Amino acid sequence: MAQAHKLDCESAAADCRFIIQSENEAEAIELARDHMKEVHGKDYTDDELRTDHLQVV
């Protein structure tokens, strides 16, 4: 079974219900980075997203 990379934005921002889940890590990071910038006005590096926000499920 393939592993999925998941961002549950509610864990970072209590008022946001946005969830990303993808088997492709690069895609998950790109979607997470775009969401964080466009919706929350925050810039994160790929490494910050990978280590601090994405879960492998």
pTM for the model: 0.85
Tokens of 18: 């946005």
Above pLDDT 90, what percent of the chain?
82
Count structural domains, the chain. 1
User: Look-up: residue for tokens 């393939």?
Assistant: 2
The phi, psi pair for 51, rounded to 5°, reads -90, -30
The phi, psi pair for 19, rounded to 5°, reads -130, 135
Average pLDDT (22-46) is: 95
CA distance 29 to 48: 10
CA distance 55 to 6: 5
pLDDT of residue 1: 66
Strand-pair partners of 42 = none
In one-letter notation, the amino acid at residue 17 is R
pLDDT band at 30 (very low <50, low <70, confident <90, very high): very high
Domain hosting 38: range is 5-56
Average pLDDT (32-46) is: 94
